[in-house]
Structure 1
Amino acid sequence: LRRLGIDEISLVKGQGKFIVVLVDIDSGKLIGLVKERKQIEIANVMKKWGEEILERIEEVSIDLTGNYKSLVEKICPNAVVTVDRFHVTKIIHEELNQARIAEKKTALELDVEDRKKVFDSLKGNKYTILKAEDKLTDKQKIKLDTIREASPLIAIMHSLKEEFRNLFDTSEDSGTGILRLLNWLEKAEPYYQKRFIF
């Protein structure tokens, strides 16, 4: 075991009942289930693997919803903590949607013509801006162009969202990927207010 993934899964949607899944990232094999999200419970399951295995773990990818960084630092002394890209994508989507909602509210203060243009383009188009651009239908692409024209802020944030998504698909190696990610973080900071460094 070199790379471990720790993730929370909801048992019953909307009821706050979760289990924690421990996965060997390289093989995709499930190696542990924990009935509770408490750090002590997760630590107890992991400690059963033995100190030798825990010391060999080089990387632990964590779920941002749980506070697992301190746990990993205690029991996997040689591991680097990373964040699952899908959780970062979720944060980007949440912030982009919040910006869309805020832009709609701001549009109500504009003159009638501008208000209609901005408000109408943003209303009901959450999934048009969140969906991967290369997966949009022709109709959705037209809507996206209308949104970009009506809201420069959403246009920039959407472009940054797409750039982040493409980072992982187009980087030739990890060194290039890291440099591109650092560049992206610098560009995104004024627009995406949540911090990705924890």
Structure 2
Amino acid sequence: MGPKKSPSRKSKSKEPTPDPPSGLGDVDNTNNKGGGDDGKDEDAGGKVSSPKGGKKTVEMIQNEIAMLEKQAYDTKSKLLNESQFSELLGLQSEDEPEFIDEIIEMYTADARSMLDELKTLYSAKDKEIDFDVIRGTLHKLKGSSSTFGADGVTEMCDQLRELCIEKNVKDAREGPNSLVELEKRVEILAEFLTKYMEKLKELAAAKNQS
């Protein structure tokens, strides 16, 4: 009988994620597989965790973080701008350990609020849609996303703004550059940020215990 797998992991579990917009891969490509004859489990991207349910090492967690960063900074996904996001992370200090969490929470909350506003504006009858207000809201979302380094969201705001200028309601409501796709990008980014910050905290805890 082979070694038992760690009871804290499920070999093939995979949490559902929203469908990514065209050209944007899933934030988490994890496909956990059952351990082989040596009792090890494969982690994200094929990285192997400690055998027989042992705790992850600092190096293992650092590898997982590196994989997440590689996905986020990919020029095709445009999830995050590496330079800007790294600068943001550099603002974290021991005096304010929750600073980055608060910045992320503020950005995602504001982005979702503006998306709700846009959905309300576009739900009006075609002839009653206030395009000036829509452009103003898109401008605010683009500004906050650009400051944060969310290149994909920033780019989508520009595309949706062009549809607004053209008063192209149909494509703005549904299509490759629509409000639906903008919302998907925001949610994929929010999911990544949650996962990424959890990994950073896991790394800090592992370093303290080593």
Q: TM-score normalized by structure 2?
A: 0.24
Structure with the bigger percentage of strand: 1
Relative contact order (C-alpha < 8 Å, sep 6+): which is higher?
Answer: 2
Q: TM-score normalized by structure 1?
A: 0.25
